[in-house]
Structure 1
Amino acid sequence: SGSMRNGGQYVQAKRMAMALDGLIRSDYPGDYLQFVEMYTVAKLRSSGEIPSIMPKPVTIRESVVRLRADMSDPDITEMDLPLHFTNIQRALQLSRQWLGGRPTPNRQVMLITDGLPTAHFECSDLYMMYPPDPRTERETIREAMRCKEAGITINVFLLPSWSQTEDDVQFAHRMAESTGGRVFFVAGRELDRFVVWDYVKRRRSILG
């Protein structure tokens, strides 16, 4: 999302992605790994696309934003949307659907974010709301619970942000703990080390 540009957070996220991809390719070639780019919507990405992904430019500067787009309308495309919002709900949904087709007992989502979600879907309606709205939080937690029902654990790696509040921290805990996951408070430069460490530790605990 747009805020990942602050402090070069997106650089550390891409470095982590490449490190995890390299680890799995070299040490755990039988494992499955899929990247999901998360912005106003969300999109599956291959490892080869990671280096070219950039934060979406912030195109709305108002202090309060309340937008809705009917994505069933064929005249509305992604290019018509402000893309700098954060749709964790849609990213989790794509992750759940992708993991559902993989025969593995270790189904986990490693969610990297710097704060609360600011976009969500209700049927075909896409809502984009800033400051973050309880309605978005509620729909995001509902999708997290669907992940839990599918046997998926969500671990949240919470990056520091100048705008981060106690609400961001509490939401991260609710989302992760509702699926049996954890929250890691990680400075950007430590992100790759923490994510790789958590992946290896969880993998060994399941195999053990």
Structure 2
Amino acid sequence: MFFRYSEWDEQRHGGAPTTFEKLFELFQQLLQYTAGDAAEALHWMTQLDQRYGLTDEGMGLGDFIEELKKRGYLEQDAQGVIRITPRTEGTLRRRSLEEIFTRLRKGRQGRHKTPFAGQGDERLPETRAWQFGDDPHLLDVTGTLSNAFRRTGIDDWDLREDDFVVHETDHHTSVATVLMIDLSHSMVLYGEDRITPARKTALALAELIMTHYPKDTLDIVAFGNDAWEVSVKDLPYLNVGPYYTNTRAGLQRARDILRRRKNRNKQIFLITDGKPSCHFENGRMYRNAFGLDRRIVNKVLDEAVICRREGIVITTFMIARDPYLQDFVRRLTEANRGRAYYASLDELGTFLFEDYIRNRRKTVR
């Protein structure tokens, strides 16, 4: 056997990304930080190109923009405003999903399981007597034949309905999830960008559910002075505003949504820095910018208790390290008997995905 060695050819062996691929990767990253503002992302790229020489003779920044339009990632209206397209929105969701899955320390993809046996796809070693309507592929052939032999012996062997046994399976359940995202001004205070990882996590979770859990539902609720629903196509553009934090309104909106869902298992994922600072009383806003006002906090805790009574588990993802704020999250969790994670910004997606994928409910109502 002979081997022929030659100089490494990047293009031939596909080892090096093209200039477009490198620029597109950077463009997607910048879109995460600009809340989907294509013009601002391209402006940043221009500055980076001038400083670090990102482009080459084969593709300048103008060529890159034209290629984005040609491939359907950008569009320009009659006034010359450049926007990303639905294709780009889908790319951002997939990219966010891949990024978070790459960082998962544990867990695997799969359906949400409960400790109950029933209709499902994964066989268990345990068996039971066959019942009319059971799937034939679950038949335990060895156990069935053994039953027949024990009953009749070898010489006069026959097979009856009572001999048949089938494997048990995991009971698979669907989950209705509402993801609440805090868009109050505190999410960008003190030089810490908390909204970008929250937005990225929402994009990834939406993609996960649409591609891996089609029977699950995901609704997004953004909250600031009030609360409102956000569609999947609007996720890349979520951004903070000059808002207070009306956590109570967010929980109320989430409960209203889950009440309409037919899924047996219902949960709320709450991404916040943990500082409720306003609510509505008799149609008027009561606010306290310092946060954790007793009048406001008690109303939020009341909502947590109502969620518990309605079988809705609240999982809070706390992205601030202030012990005073963390104490509020602990009280919220106790009132709901839910769960809480105190995650750093770069761990938010990992924590949320681990909880979602490995979620197991002890009761099915």
- Shorter-chain TM band: 0.7 to 0.9
Match of 2:357 in 1: 200
Q: SS at the partner of 2:239?
A: coil
Match of 1:168 in 2: 325
TM-score, normalised to structure 1's length? 0.81
Structure 2 counterpart of 1:178, from 315, 332, 335: 335
Match of 2:267 in 1: 108
RMSD across aligned positions (CA):
1.6
Alignment of 1:94 with 2:253, yes or no, is yes
Q: SS at the partner of 2:194?
A: helix
Amino acid at match of 1:150: E
Contact 1:158-1:186 within 8 A present in 2 as well: yes
Match of 2:186 in 1: 3
Contact 1:153-1:176 within 8 A present in 2 as well: no
Contact 1:110-1:157 within 8 A present in 2 as well: yes
Structure 2 counterpart of 1:42, from 206, 212, 227: 227
Structure 2 unaligned runs (5+)? 1-183
Match of 1:20 in 2: 205
Deviations, residues 58-101 of structure 1 (Å, cap 9, x unaligned):
xxxxxxxxxxxxxxxxxxxxxxxxxx200100000000010001
Deviations, residues 21-46 of structure 1 (Å, cap 9, x unaligned):
11111110110110010111111101
Contact 1:12-1:188 within 8 A present in 2 as well: yes
Rounded Cα–Cα distance in structure 2 between residues aligned with 1:27 and 1:203: 17
Rounded Cα–Cα distance in structure 1 between residues aligned with 2:281 and 2:309: 20
Match of 2:280 in 1: 121
Rounded Cα–Cα distance in structure 1 between residues aligned with 2:332 and 2:289: 20
Rounded Cα–Cα distance in structure 1 between residues aligned with 2:255 and 2:300: 13
Q: SS at the partner of 1:178?
A: helix
Contact 1:154-1:179 within 8 A present in 2 as well: yes
Match of 2:316 in 1: 156
Rounded Cα–Cα distance in structure 2 between residues aligned with 1:204 and 1:119: 33
Cα offset for 1:204? 7.2
Pick the structure with greater CA Rg. 2
Cα offset for 1:51? 1.0
Amino acid at match of 2:212: D
Rounded Cα–Cα distance in structure 1 between residues aligned with 2:300 and 2:282: 13
Question: 119-128 vs 27-36, which deviates more?
Answer: 119-128
Which runs of at least 4 in structure 1 moved beyond 3 Å after TM superposition? 203-207
Amino acid at match of 1:106: N
Matched residue pairs, number? 178
Alignment of 1:54 with 2:239, yes or no, is yes
Cα offset for 1:115? 2.2
Rounded Cα–Cα distance in structure 2 between residues aligned with 1:173 and 1:186: 14
Cα offset for 1:167? 2.5
Alignment of 1:136 with 2:296, yes or no, is yes
TM-score, normalised to structure 2's length? 0.47
Question: Structure 1's 40 and 199: CA in aligned 2 closer, same or farther, altered over 3 A?
Answer: same
Cα offset for 1:147? 1.1
Amino acid at match of 1:85: Y
Question: Structure 1's 195 and 52: CA in aligned 2 closer, same or farther, altered over 3 A?
Answer: same
Structure 1 unaligned runs (5+)? 58-83
Amino acid at match of 2:185: G
Deviations, residues 135-191 of structure 1 (Å, cap 9, x unaligned):
100111111111111111111100025xx2x22111101112222211101111111
Contact 1:2-1:85 within 8 A present in 2 as well: yes
